[in-house]
A = this chain, B = another copy of it.
Amino acid sequence: MKKEILEILKNNKNSFISGEELSNKLGVTRTAIWKYINILKEEGYKIESISRKGYKLVEEPDILSREELLIELKLSRFVDDIYYFDKVDSTNSFAKKLALEGAKEGTIILSNEQTGGRGRLGRVWISPPCSSISMSLILKPSIRPWDAAKITEITAAAVAIAIEKVTNLDVNIKWPNDIIIQNKKVCGILTEMGAELDNINYVIVGIGINVNIDEFPDEIKEVATSLKKVAGKEISRKEIVINIVREFEKLYYNFIETGSLKETVEICKRKSATLGKTVKIINKSETIIAEAVDINDEGELLVRKENGEIISVISGEVSVRGINGYI
């Protein structure tokens, strides 16, 4: 009901709608309407109420809530359901549990704060309240496990475009899973999956973005930044989330329907912070220094080794000279 009232107020923004009209439209008492209006006010919505005229939404806060997002994304083909938490250990961990219990593709988990946010290989990822985005998407694509890396690249491309649209900042993708601005990391993507040997059961894409974080811990302040620090102003987390979902679904369905990653690769190449640079690739068995020369149609990074040989890299630990402390 709260969602329905909010939706009507948003559709009539800056004009009054009477309690009676709301009550008739939604089939609940005027007292119930009044209660929900108070809840919305408490959440931060500025709603003017004048007797005989009714209610007018005058200002919307930058809040991430299930209702807000369901309204803003109601035309989305992708979104099945949205879970929003004030605090959670890790949105990816929660998403995994949901996926095992049968949650559908298009389920999105968001949290205002993560207390145990994770990066690749179990590394810590900080997600302070109110200033970061922690979101996980549940996907159930009919692809093979070794194609899951493509989902990372689709997400990276979507996040890069979304951030550019909202902030006008110049955004780069450090292949395959980091978004950087001015050579510092603003977003990391963590893709995890549950799979049989040749069949994926689910993919979880976790997206962590430093939006309005003012200060970073000493250990990472040389390599991390936030959208606010670069833009010099607060950025709306809601706008970023909405735009990510919109850009993601375009690229994702394009890939699913055509089997081609072309559109994504085009963005990843154009926005690449990696191509043309010296990279250090750390595998379990060896470390390779090479020059990143291209991203192929499968999304693999092509690098030229010192002996001239060109090899493709599917995923893994890639450092780019000049970025994130690799000098």
Contact = CB atoms under 8 A, between A and B. Distances in A.
Given A100-B96, A146-B146, A195 B193 contact: yes
Interface stretch (A68-76, A196-204, A268-276): A196-204
A196 B121 contact: yes
Contacts of A316: 197-198
A194 B315 CA distance: 17
Contacts of A93: 100
A191 interface: yes
Contact of A121 (B152, B191, B199, B315): B199
Nearest to A177: B197
A129 interface: no
Contacts of A190: 196
Interface in A130-155: 142, 145-146, 148-149, 152
A100 B148 CA distance: 20
A53 interface: no
Nearest to A146: B146
Interface residues of A, number: 28
Given A96-B100, A97-B100, A100-B96, A142 B284 contact: yes
Interface of A: 93, 96-97, 100, 120-121, 142, 145-146, 148-149, 152, 176, 190-199, 201, 284, 314-316
User: What is the oligomeric copy number?
Assistant: 2
B284 A148 contact: no
Contact of A120 (B120, B192, B196): B196
20 contacts: A96-B194, A97-B100, A100-B100, A120-B196, A121-B196, A121-B199, A145-B146, A145-B193, A146-B146, A191-B196, A191-B197, A192-B194, A192-B196, A192-B201, A193-B194, A193-B196, A195-B195, A197-B314, A197-B315, A197-B316
A190 B96 CA distance: 20
Contacts of A152: 197
Contacts of A314: 197-198
Given A100-B97, A142-B284, A192 B195 contact: yes
A201 B96 CA distance: 13
A64 to B, nearest CB: 26
Nearest to A151: B197
A192 B99 CA distance: 14
Contacts of A100: 93, 96-97, 100
A195 B100 CA distance: 14
Contacts of A192: 194-196, 201
A100 B142 CA distance: 23
- In this complex, the member of A191, A193, A198 whose beta carbon has the largest number of chain B beta carbons within 10 angstroms is A198
Residue among A93, A191, A193 facing the most chain B CB atoms (10 A cut-off): A193
A121 B316 CA distance: 28
A149 B196 CA distance: 9
A194 B197 contact: no
